[in-house]
Amino acid sequence: MPQLNRIVETALYVDDLERAHDFYEGKLGLAPLLKTPILYAYDVGGATVLLLFRRGAAQQTQSSANGSIPPHDGSGPLHIAFAVDSGELEAWERKLEELDIAIEGRMAWDRGGKSLYFRDPDGHLLELMTPGIWRTY
């Protein structure tokens, strides 16, 4: 059977792309890859892409000379986790506090990893996780 290798991109749906830009690029420091009227894409660690779609804007098939992308959308608070080095978790905690981003939760995992939880302006639950949480991370 063919195997899946990894997740290349993940998407969140936001109400205001400029507000999301200010948060993800301005506060979290993600590098932009693409900006369109309905989508902003960001590089995460040189290995993953975070797609931010304007909520409701991708509900029609998107067609071009190269092919088509089926409709999709999402609602409600979703969850994604960003990998961080163990030695940088405290620096991230300080940075979030300096930016007045409330830390909603902390977790020390059985395998030795740690997590910090906070929200973006659209209410999505974001996690900063160190190695030692999953068998694969």
Q: What is the pLDDT of residues 73-126, one digit of tens each?
A: 999 999 999 999 999 999 999 999 999 999 999 999 999 999 999 999 999 999
Instruction: Give residue 5's pLDDT.
Output: 86
Q: Which range of residues forms the domain containing residue 137?
A: 77-137
Q: Does residue 21 belong to any structural domain of this protein?
A: yes
pLDDT at 3: 84
Hey, is 99 helix, strand or coil?
A: coil
Assigned domain for 46 exists: yes
Average per-residue pLDDT in the chain? 96
Residues 39 and 26: their CA atoms lie apart, in Å, by: 17
Give the count of domains, the chain: 2
Tell me, yes or no, whether 5 and 37 share the same domain.
yes
**What is the Cα–Cα distance from 13 to 54, expressed in whole angstroms?**
6
Question: Could you tell me the CATH number of the domain that includes residue 40?
Answer: 3.30.720.120
Question: Are 8 and 18 spatial neighbours (Cβ–Cβ below 8 Å)?
Answer: no
Task: Please tell me whether the overall predicted TM-score, pTM, comes out greater than 0.75 for this model.
Answer: yes
Closest CA to 40 of 59, 64, 8, 18: 18
3-state secondary structure 18-51: HHHHHHHHHHCCCEEEEECCCEEEEEECCCEEEE
